[in-house]
Chain A
Amino acid sequence: MSSDKESHSHDDIGCLEAIEAFYAYLDGELSDPQAIEDFEHHMSHCRSCFSRSEVEKLLNERMRESGTSKAPDDLRSRVRRLMDEF
């Protein structure tokens, strides 16, 4: 956790602040440019947080791959018949 704020245009946030922003960043929900820059700067020099973020990204990919399902044809037919009656 560095505290050398004057030498950078961004704040050197520590691991604790980075952790709080973790999921919002990974989910593309961190909108404040300064917060994004601070987070990315922290990730660029904190091996532990970077390593965590890589695993969380991997978990995001695995969840997307494993959790999505295809609606059965029977259901599609059923819903189409249902909508025909509307």
Chain B
Amino acid sequence: MVLTARLMTDSEDTKTFFSREIEENMDALYGTALRLSGTGADAEDLVAETVSKAWTAIASLEDRRRFRPWIFRILHNCFISNYRREAVRPRESVYEEDDDGGLVALLNAQPDDFLVWWANPERQYFNNMLGSAIMAAIDGLPDAFRTTIILINVEGLTYDEAAEALGVPPGTIRSRMKRGRTMLQKALWEQAREAGIAATTHNSRHET
């Protein structure tokens, strides 16, 4: 009751604040929704639903400076409840999502060919790689890692903001970044191998 009364007397100010923040974050919300849901139409519906739910829940935003992680959390929750069950995405992973056994242990479990690539990256290959190919590799990651990488590396959230948005401890975000980025490298390596680039790199290194 107290919160409702406060919001009613402060409604114009709250609405102005809310509208401005939504406008400022619209591209990031849409971009994230697009990567999560996979189609423009679904992304638009997801953003619209997020805005509606966010306004309904505006009283739960205790610190206005935390609007960004707060709105992304609502977006993510909407996605999980509405779209995730329908999406066709890799569910099984040999990687334990939040197991921070260390990157070294993770790398030790990888094939030698990949480790050669990982340790001797071809800058030119990354320079020439199509942006769409990079994003396709991200889209193929398991949800937890995909979402974390999108929020941090594409939309520019801090680790703390991403932790708040995804409802996990900051340590989990660190772990997901290490594991997710390694998985991304592996996906890019597989693309390069299919294109015959990684194999060439491997052979040439053995010859020298």
- In this complex, which of A60, A69, A70, A72 has the most chain B Cβ atoms within 10 angstroms of its Cβ? A69
Contact with B along A40-68 (1 / 0, CB 8 A): 00000000100110111011101111111
Q: Cβ of A54: which chain B residues have Cβ within 8 Å of it?
A: 121, 123
Docked Cα-Cα span, A83 to B50, in Å, equals 12
Docked Cα-Cα span, A69 to B134, in Å, equals 15
Among B23-31, B70-78, B85-93, B190-198, the stretch in contact with A: B23-31
Instruction: Name the contact of A75 in the complex, choosing from B48, B119, B122, B156 (C-beta under 8 A).
Output: B48
Q: Cβ of A19: which chain B residues have Cβ within 8 Å of it?
A: 103-104, 107
Docked Cα-Cα span, A20 to B19, in Å, equals 41
Cβ-closest chain A residue relative to B102: A20
- Given A23-B181, A65-B131, A72-B44, are A79 and B51 neighbors across the interface (CB < 8 Å)? yes
Contact with A along B110-149 (1 / 0, CB 8 A): 0000000011111100110101101100100000000001
Count of B residues near A, CB < 8 Å? Answer: 52
Q: Is the CB of B30 within 8 A of A67?
A: no
* B66 at interface, CB cutoff 8 A: no
* B158 at interface, CB cutoff 8 A: yes
Docked Cα-Cα span, A25 to B107, in Å, equals 19
CB distance from A36 to the nearest CB of B (A): 15
Instruction: Name the contact of A66 in the complex, choosing from B131, B158, B177, B178 (C-beta under 8 A).
Output: B131
